[in-house]
Structure 1
Amino acid sequence: MATLRDIKRKIEGVKKTQKITRAMNMVASAKLRTTQDKMASFRPYAHKFMELLQSVKARGDPGIHPLLLPRDEVNTVEIILLTSDRGLCGAFNANLIATAEGFMKERSAKGQKISLTTLGRKGRDYFRRRKVERRREERGILEKPNMSTASEIGKEVTDLFLTGNCDEVHILFSHFVSMVIQRPTIMQLIPIPLAETTEEPKRGVIPLDYIYEPSVTAIVRDLLPTYINVQILNCLWETAVSEHAARMTAMDNATRNCGDMITNLTLAMNKARQAAITAELMDIVGGAEALKG
């Protein structure tokens, strides 16, 4: 049975841990607000870009740009995996990595070669330990997502596709749904998937009809590379917000668990103290009875 000193030592240790988790929760909360505001302002821009591309496709032939044309045979698939650099965010990284492994196994079963890019230390370390070859690895990207980084990655994977070194490019990121739901999502970047619009226009809403100058071909040539960069940046923002939300939730749970542990340990300490006092009283009473006899 643990002594009073052992229990007191445990309580002090848990209290120190609780201070750390509470501080991390506050830091994650502050970062979340800042990052979420930026993501919220960028999301509509990324979605509007997709709408514009849908309109462009409806006006022109997909063959007007190689980034729109799917390959007849897919031999090599590039996957960009986004993870965090730090842990203590629950199952956030584990879910992303598990989704990546499932995708890689599925494509490998079809005889396709996998080219892996890891953006984030957790993903890099996981696949490095398993000796999985990475084409590129980076860290620190989710700290400050920016268009410069997204453009660099976008140009690199675009060149890979156009030179025939890969036939498809996918990005695996965490889609921020809510504070408690961050969903691992795989999005095809190249060739750019533009779904056919089959929905009827809403009543009272007049569909937009764009006039393209100088031509659809010229606009597509400039628009598609920018679209890829915009989608990559949007994925970076989504994943960054998801990371902070997951860490905030995990640290909040850890802080509450520490509180429960302190309550239970305090109860155990009081019981141990009561037992010690009772034992001492029994000794005193026993000694007194012995003296009387």
Structure 2
Amino acid sequence: MGAQLRVYTQKIKSAQTTKKITRAMELISASRIQKAQQRVAASGPYSRAVTQAVSAVATFSNVDHILTTEPEKVERAAVVIFASDRGLAGAFSSSALKAAEELASLLRSEGKEVVYYLVGRKAVSYFAFRRRAAEESWTGETDQPTFETAKAIGDAVVARFLQPASEGGVDEIHIVYNRFVSMVSQVPEVVRLLPLEVVEGVEEPGDHDLLPLYEFEPDVGLVLDSLLPVYIESRIFNAMLQSAASEHAARQKAMKSASDNADKLIRDFTRLRNNARQSEITQQIAEIVGGADALSSSKK
């Protein structure tokens, strides 16, 4: 019985230690989520404005440019996957990877070759475990993204996009990340960056409306060439910020659930330990009473 008490006591201590860790991680994520949300809110208007400007210029300039021109045959597509560097965030990374797998299956069914660019150690380990190749990977900044990393990713995919398909270039660029909706909801998002699919924030002109007038210096092609990397970098950086906010929210929710489960384990093991202690006390009392009865019977 004493051994059973020691086992329950050790399990209670283990659960209490686990609760301290999960509670600390929950508080850390809770303190960081506010800043992450502020960064997402601050980057959103700029990203939307750049997208609207690029879409409007490309749409109303009537210029054949690589930014909006659909290739006759799409041979290769690039998929950039945003996961996390650390675990203990519930289904955060797995949901993004699952969405990327569904996208890759769709692209392959259309006869397109898929090349991957990975962001986050979880994505890298996922591909390494399955012995699948990736073009490039970036790790170490998923919870606190920097614009320098976004620029490096943008430069890599744009350089590959500008290469001819015969030399290994890609004809499409897709990104997969978790979009922050609320503290309890993070939704996997799949976006095709290039070529542009729709005009965001630009309404079609009516019968009596005039098309916006643009003047390009030195010419339209150079303007669009300059806007291309800016557009890609802003969208990628916004996706990284969305992913970071989603990661903190997912980790906070997962750690709160883990802390609640630890509380339940502590209560259950405490109850079992108390029952075992009560059984031990009852047995000791029974032995004492039995011994006393035996002594009184022998004296008669």
Specify if TM > 0.5.
Answer: yes
Q: Deviations over 1:155-199 (max 9, x none)?
A: 221121121211111111110011111111111111122248796
Tell me, yes or no, if the aligned pair for 2:60 and 2:211 is still in contact at 8 Å: no
Distance 1:291 1:234 in 2: 85
Q: Does the residue aligned with 1:239 lie in a helix, a strand or coil?
A: helix
Tell me, yes or no, if the aligned pair for 2:63 and 2:220 is still in contact at 8 Å: no
Distance 1:197 1:35 in 2: 25
Distance 1:145 1:175 in 2: 15
Tell me, yes or no, if the aligned pair for 1:119 and 1:138 is still in contact at 8 Å: yes
Distance 2:148 2:98 in 1: 29
- Give the equivalent residue in structure 2 for 1:105: 105
Q: Which structure 1 segments of 5+ residues have no match? A: none
Residues 1-293 of structure 1: matches in 2 within 5 Å? Answer: 3-61=4-62, 63=64, 65-164=65-164, 165-195=169-199, 211-214=214-217, 217-293=221-297
Q: Deviations over 1:191-237 (max 9, x none)?
A: 12224879689xxxx99956545465554332232111100100010
Structure 1 residues 14 and 208, CA, compared in 2 at 3 Å: closer, same or farther? farther
Structure 1 residues 207 and 94, CA, compared in 2 at 3 Å: closer, same or farther? farther
Distance 1:229 1:162 in 2: 15
* Farther-moved stretch of structure 1 (248-257 vs 140-149): 140-149
Tell me, yes or no, if the aligned pair for 2:52 and 2:200 is still in contact at 8 Å: no
The aligned amino acid for 1:118 is: L
Tell me, yes or no, if the aligned pair for 2:40 and 2:241 is still in contact at 8 Å: yes
Percent identical pairs in the alignment equals 34
Distance 1:262 1:81 in 2: 39
Q: Does the residue aligned with 1:18 lie in a helix, a strand or coil?
A: helix
The aligned amino acid for 2:49 is: K
Distance 1:16 1:282 in 2: 37
Q: Does the residue aligned with 1:276 lie in a helix, a strand or coil?
A: helix
Structure 1 residues 198 and 192, CA, compared in 2 at 3 Å: closer, same or farther? closer
**Matched pairs, number:** 288
Q: CA deviation at 1:78?
A: 0.7
Distance 2:30 2:201 in 1: 39
* Farther-moved stretch of structure 1 (77-86 vs 218-227): 218-227
Q: Which structure 2 segments of 5+ residues have no match? A: none
The aligned amino acid for 2:14 is: G
The aligned amino acid for 2:286 is: M
Structure 1 residues 191 and 200, CA, compared in 2 at 3 Å: closer, same or farther? closer
The aligned amino acid for 2:99 is: T
The aligned amino acid for 2:144 is: K
Tell me, yes or no, if the aligned pair for 1:62 and 1:68 is still in contact at 8 Å: no
Q: CA deviation at 1:117?
A: 0.9
Q: CA deviation at 1:112?
A: 1.6
Higher alpha-carbon Rg: 2
CA RMSD after TM alignment:
2.4
Tell me, yes or no, if the aligned pair for 2:67 and 2:194 is still in contact at 8 Å: yes
Q: CA deviation at 1:147?
A: 2.5
